[in-house]
């Protein structure tokens, strides 16, 4: 998965191996490293993150799921202080602060994202009937591609 996150990540690569669990007071939300009073139960969760590009206030990462938990990428990145752009559940507070610091063009491109800046650009699995490895790839959606081009100094 490609994710454009708030803030500049220092590490080039990291393994986030932190359990996640649903909040008792808000079961629709998942939290990383939940305490016993905060979550019903926690389950192991691991995400491999690799930085692809760093920009003034954002970082483009590739996140590879090592486990498959609900909201795992979003929760893990938010736990590190780098929520996904456009995430209305886990990144709203950081998003508001960061948006004020952006120039007008970048701010409008971020506002133009139809949702989260999270994109499954590559999918690979073993076909259940044939047993063959199959893979698919897809470029980022137009709004995300336009923002990335702007951040890289190119025009689409």
In whole angstroms, how far apart are CA 84 and each of 8, 41, 139?
12, 24, 18
Question: Helices (DSSP H) in the chain: which residue ranges?
Answer: 72-79, 92-101, 104-111, 142-151
Domains of the chain, residue spans? 2-120
Q: What angle do helix axes 142-151 and 104-111 make, rounded to 10 degrees?
A: 160
Q: Per-residue pLDDT for 37 more than 80?
A: no
Question: pLDDT tens digits for 21-30?
Answer: 888 788 888 8
Question: pLDDT tens digits for 66-90?
Answer: 999 989 999 999 999 999 999 999 9
Total-model pTM: 0.89
Six-digit token string for 38: 């905060």
User: What's the sign of the alpha-carbon dihedral 136, 55, 32, 15?
Assistant: positive
Q: Per-residue pLDDT for 8 more than 60?
A: yes
Q: Per-residue pLDDT for 40 more than 70?
A: no
Residues 6+ apart with CB under 8 A from 139: 121, 145
In the prediction, which pLDDT does 39 show? 58
Residues 6+ apart with CB under 8 A from 37: 24
In the prediction, which pLDDT does 86 show? 93
Beta partners for residue 136, in sequence order: 123
CATH superfamily for domain 2-120 = Pseudouridine synthase (3.30.2350.10)
């Amino acid at each position: 998965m490609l994710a454009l996150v708030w803030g500049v990540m220092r590490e080039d690569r990291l393994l986030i191996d932190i359990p996640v669990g649903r909040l008792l007071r808000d079961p629709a939300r998942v939290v990383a490293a939940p305490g016993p009073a905060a979550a019903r139960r926690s389950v192991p969760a691991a995400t491999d993150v690799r930085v692809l590009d760093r920009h003034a206030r954002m970082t483009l990462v590739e996140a590879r799921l090592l486990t498959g938990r609900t909201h795992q990428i979003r929760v893990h990145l938010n736990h590190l202080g780098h929520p996904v752009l456009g995430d209305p559940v886990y990144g709203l507070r950081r998003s508001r602060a960061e948006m004020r610091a952006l120039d007008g063009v970048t701010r409008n491109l971020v506002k133009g994202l139809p949702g989260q800046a999270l994109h499954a650009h590559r999918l690979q699995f073993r076909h259940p009937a044939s047993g063959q490895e199959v893979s698919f790839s897809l470029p980022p959606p137009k709004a995300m591609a336009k923002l990335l081009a702007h951040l890289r100094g190119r025009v689409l």
